[in-house]
Structure 1
Amino acid sequence: MAAFRGPKVPNAWLWRWRRNPLRRRSDALEAWIVLVAGALTVLGGVLVGLLATQSVEHGLARQRTEWHSVLALLADDVPKPTASATGADIVWAEVRWTAADGSPRAGQARVSVGSRAGTPVTVWTDDDGRLVTRPASPSQARLRASLVGILMGVSAAGVPFIGGRLLRGHMERRRMDRWDEEWQRIGPLWGRKTG
């Protein structure tokens, strides 16, 4: 079996970079395309992923410092569900609170079913007194940032990878077309007898 494989050549995958009389210009160009596309895939993916992760972590940390919990009061009674109705234990209802500037505010918050008007409810607001969701904890922020970073890194790495594959495919089709043209010229000469 070893006789059919031929001699082992060290670093056979570098054949496009070595001097060789059979190496074509397109082989060297393809080697450069593979090198550049590979470098851009790895470096671009890692760089974009890290930047996206840092950006998301920074934004979520800023939310933790700027958003505040405020005590709001339930505006109306929340009736208990009837026996025939199947529902959740938590529903949306109107609550009222006072913003940091002293102005009265109202909005929708999730409250327990059967709560009475005036029941205190904790809501989260931004610096302008608008309702916001509860900010992510540091561990939730790390998880979200990591997932976004991975998604962005893979997406960014896909662009040069796919671009390199498309360019190599185009070069391969061109090479095959040239071989077909040469075969059309040379093929009929093989049938001639020299004499």
Structure 2
Amino acid sequence: MRANTPGRRPLWRWRSNPMRRREDVIEGWALLATWAVISVGAPLTGVVVGQAAADGLARQQVERHPATAVLVATARPGGDSVTTPDDRVSGTVRWTEPDGTRHEARTLVAPTFEAGDRIGIWTDQHHRVTPPPLTPSQAATQAAATGALVSLAVAGAAGAGCCAARAALDRRRARAWEAEWREVGPQWGRAAR
């Protein structure tokens, strides 16, 4: 009889064997698919998502531009003003685009600003007030973190799916073994008498 070598052991689920059940083959394919997803799919997904995030953040740097606005009325905490944790309050600002069009919007300002003060804001291509774009290093860090988290999530989902499949297959094997024992068990008891 030939001894099992470590290199041949993982393939036992596919080899012809009278003890092999259909659940064993399914489990083997599930394990193979899981390792393929973890080793190839998850990193590839992370790279694709990270690149998409980097492209979106780079697009923000192109689409957003600074503008100088004038505070329309002094903004104070209370009333209809919203206060943030850093004590900024919402106030109405007015600005003129380079093409001469005038715009007005609400944005967060420091409560120390008075009506008529000039405030630096950022706007997008639709003339909405937006937060400033991330710096290139912040954008690279955020894109890398997004890609890494997505990669880990895909690998974790694959691992959890494999564990769930193995648990279901173990339950099926246990039910099959119980059914076979109900058939064979009584015969063993008679042979012992």
TM range (shorter): 0.7 to 0.9
Q: How many residues end up aligned between the 2 structures? A: 184
Uncovered stretches (5+) of structure 1, i.e. residues with no partner: 1-6, 82-86
More deviation in 59-68 or 27-36? 27-36
Q: Is the 8 A contact 2:69 2:118 kept in 1?
A: yes
The answer for unaligned runs of 5 or more in structure 2 is 79-84
Q: Would the alpha carbon gap of residues 126 and 157 (structure 1) be closer, same or farther in structure 2, given more than 3 Å must change?
A: same
Q: Deviations over 1:94-145 (max 9, x none)?
A: 1110023311111123333232222111000112322111111112212222
Task: Output the amino acid matched with 1:188.
Answer: P
Deviation string 1:42-94 (CA, Å, 9 cap, x unpaired) is 3222122111111111011111011100011111234699xxxxx96532221
2:90 corresponds to 1:92:
yes
The 10-residue stretch of structure 1 (151-160 or 56-65) with the greater mean CA deviation from structure 2: 151-160
- In the alignment, which residue of structure 2 is the partner of 1:171? 169
RMSD over aligned CA atoms reads 2.8
Matched residues, percent identical? 36
Are residue 121 (structure 1) and residue 119 (structure 2) matched?
Answer: yes
**Are the counterparts in 2 of residues 66 and 126 from structure 1 also a CA contact under 8 Å?**
yes
Q: For 2:108, what is the secondary structure of its paired residue?
A: strand
Secondary structure, aligned partner of 2:132: coil
Tell me, what secondary structure is at the counterpart of 2:112? coil
Equivalent position of 2:36 in the other structure: 39
Could you tell me whether the CA contact under 8 Å between 1:80 and 1:114 is conserved in 2? Answer: no
Equivalent position SS for 1:192 = helix
More moved, 20-29 vs 50-59: 20-29
- SS of 1:97's equivalent in the other structure is strand
- Determine helix, strand or coil for the equivalent of 1:33: helix
Decide whether the 8 Å contact of 2:75 with 2:90 is kept in 1: no
Deviates more, 1:111-120 or 1:54-63: 111-120
The 8 Å contact of residues 89 and 111 in structure 2, kept in 1 or not, is answered as yes
Q: Deviations over 1:23-53 (max 9, x none)?
A: 4443233212211122123322212211111
TM-score (norm 1): 0.79
TM value normalised by structure 2: 0.80
* Aligned pairs for 1:51-130 within 5 A: 51-78=48-75, 90-130=88-128
